[in-house]
């Protein structure tokens, strides 16, 4: 079977890498085609002798841009006699749903986002979703919440949707660097160290988390929060920190390559996202046995996290009271975060190991 992975980005994504290599190990001929130039993703797959190609053009005119990609994808599938295309992310999916009518390949559309709300809304993204939903023959979603979004909210028939968890070869993750972990702990010494890894955008609700930290610090708690990532809210959040004299408690560290070291150094990993498809950071926190605090009704969190057993769940609409109570109880050692972290580790391995996920693709790769 000749299988193409069509993907806009050149950045490493271990869940996609793991499936690509898993298919190759099953005996399929697998090719990666990206809309970006060769970079870290291609280099990683080259180690496993995965064939890849790129098609990079300037986006000066949107219609011309997508039309050229459409023609290239059709020609690529015909020349390489592609049997199956796994198309990932909206920028590739909008092209794939039209290309499928001009070649013999079977196209599976892989959706990686849930709902989009508030100031994160974008007209073009909503329009693309409608077109993709209408023309897709099968949409693969990574969680029950995305399934519900696509089926119940967006009106796509359940016959066109298939739920397959993200699959990870967890051996691809680096082990924490013990020296670096100790350095982080010493540099940000506190009784309770939090690490939040998320884009600085409204949907991640940093305003709520910062307000809670501000309240607890003013009550005398020795708490520090490390924020890893960048985004459009950087200046606004930096101003909040200065205005509330939190420079010794909240640190905006920007992008970091050694995320696993920061997770390992933390006591708790909070995430207040109001929408997710299947968040990888929380799974990575589970790999290093960390307690996580996330919202109910978001992404796949409740598929593998039981509140009080393998993590802590907050009310999605009003998470602040739950977050205050959880952090206060953890600070006062009323919650055993070590046990929560160990249970989360076990759940992540059971639900998302590539060995357990690959079998769900068997009916598609015939």
CATH number at residue 166: 3.40.50.2000
Q: Which of 149, 360, 102 lies closest to 275, judged by CA? A: 149
Residue 193's φ and ψ, nearest 5 degrees, are -110, 120
Tokens of 85: 């295309």
Based on the domain organization, do 42 and 144 belong to the same domain? yes
Confirm whether 330 is domain-assigned: yes
CA distance 271 to 177: 24
Residue 328 CA to residue 361 CA, distance in Å, equals 44
Q: Would you state the pLDDT for residue 115?
A: 65
Question: Do both 11 and 48 map to the same domain?
Answer: yes
User: Which of these, 67, 29, 71, lies nearest to 48 by C-alpha position?
Assistant: 29
Compute and round to an integer the Cα radius of gyration of the chain.
Answer: 21
Residues 295 and 269 in one domain: yes
pLDDT recorded at residue 118: 42
Instruction: Split the chain (366 residues) into runs of 10 and give each run's mean pLDDT.
Output: 96 93 96 96 95 95 96 98 97 97 97 64 80 96 91 94 94 94 97 97 96 98 97 96 98 95 98 90 96 94 95 97 98 97 96 93 92
Do both 139 and 197 map to the same domain?
Answer: no
Give the count of beta carbons closer than 10 Å to the beta carbon of residue 271: 23
Same domain, 233 and 286: yes
Give phi and psi for 221, each to the nearest 5. Answer: -80, 140
**160 and 132 Cβ atoms separated by less than 8 Å:** no
* Distance from C-alpha of 237 to C-alpha of 243, rounded to nearest angstrom: 10
Can you list the positions of beta strands (E) in the chain? Answer: 2-7, 29-34, 51-54, 84-88, 106-110, 139-141, 161-163, 192-197, 223-228, 250-254, 268-270, 291-295, 312-314
Domain identity same for 21 and 105: yes
As to burial, measured by CB atoms within 10 angstroms (0-12 exposed, 13-18 middle, 19+ buried), residue 69 is buried
Residue 366 forms part of a structural domain: no
Q: How far is CA 78 from CA 6, 67, 179, 219, 308, in A?
A: 14, 17, 52, 66, 53
pLDDT value, residue 122: 67
Closest residue by Cα to residue 269 from 292, 241, 287, 288: 292
Residue 124 lies in domain: 2-171+353-361
Position 163 in a domain: yes
Q: Strand 250-254 to strand 84-88: parallel, antiparallel, or no bridges (unpaired)? A: unpaired
E-strand ranges in 57-185 read: 84-88, 106-110, 139-141, 161-163
68 and 154 belong to one structural domain: yes
How many domains is the chain partitioned into structurally?
2
Say if residue 111 is in the same domain as residue 140: yes
CA count, 13 A, side-chain hemisphere, 140? 19
Query: With left for phi above 0 and alpha for psi between -120 and 50, is residue 186 left, alpha or beta?
Result: alpha
Q: Are residues 19 and 47 in the same domain?
A: yes
Residue 253 lies in a domain: yes
Q: Given this model, what pLDDT does residue 119 score?
A: 40
Regarding whether 195 and 125 lie in a shared domain, the answer is: no
**DSSP class per residue in 161-220:** EEE----B-GGGSPPP-HHHHHHHHHHT--SEEEEEE--SSGGG-HHHHHHHHHHHHHTT
Q: Within this chain, do residues 195 and 299 fall inside the same structural domain, yes or no?
A: yes
Q: Are residues 71 and 191 in the same domain?
A: no
Residue 212 included in any domain: yes
């Amino acid at each position: 079977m000749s299988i193409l992975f069509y993907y806009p980005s050149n950045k490493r994504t271990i869940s996609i890498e793991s499936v690509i290599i898993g298919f190759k190990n099953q005996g399929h001929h697998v090719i990666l085609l990206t809309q970006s130039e060769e970079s870290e993703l291609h280099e990683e797959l080259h180690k496993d002798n995965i064939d890849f190609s790129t098609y990079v053009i300037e986006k000066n005119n949107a219609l011309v841009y997508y039309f050229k990609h459409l023609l290239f994808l059709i020609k690529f599938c015909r020349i390489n006699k592609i049997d199956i295309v796994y198309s990932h992310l909206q920028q590739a999916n909008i092209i794939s749903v039209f290309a499928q009518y001009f070649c013999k390949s079977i196209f599976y559309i892989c959706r990686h986002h849930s709902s989009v709300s508030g100031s994160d809304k974008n007209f073009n993204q909503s329009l693309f979703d409608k077109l993709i939903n209408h023309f897709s023959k099968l949409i693969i979603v990574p969680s029950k919440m995305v399934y519900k979004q696509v089926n119940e909210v967006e009106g796509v028939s359940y016959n066109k949707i298939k739920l397959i968890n993200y699959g990870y070869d967890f051996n691809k993750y680096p082990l924490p660097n013990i020296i670096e972990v100790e350095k982080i702990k010493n540099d940000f010494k506190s009784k309770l160290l939090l690490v939040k890894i998320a884009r600085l955008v409204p949907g991640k609700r940093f305003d709520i988390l910062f307000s809670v930290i501000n309240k607890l610090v003013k009550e005398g708690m020795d708490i520090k929060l490390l924020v890893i990532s960048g985004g459009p809210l950087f200046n606004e959040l930096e101003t909040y920190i200065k205005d509330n004299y939190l420079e010794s408690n909240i640190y905006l560290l920007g992008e970091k390559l050694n995320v696993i070291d920061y997770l390992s150094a933390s006591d708790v990993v909070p995430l207040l996202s109001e929408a997710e498809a299947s968040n990888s950071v929380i799974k990575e926190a589970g790999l290093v046995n960390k307690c996580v605090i996330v919202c109910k009704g978001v992404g796949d969190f409740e598929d593998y996290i039981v509140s009080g057993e393998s993590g802590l769940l907050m009310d999605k609409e009003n998470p602040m009271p739950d977050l205050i109570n959880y952090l206060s109880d953890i600070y006062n050692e009323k919650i055993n975060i070590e046990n929560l972290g160990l249970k989360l580790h076990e759940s992540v391995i059971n639900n998302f190991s590539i060995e357990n996920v690959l079998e769900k693709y068997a009916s598609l790769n015939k």
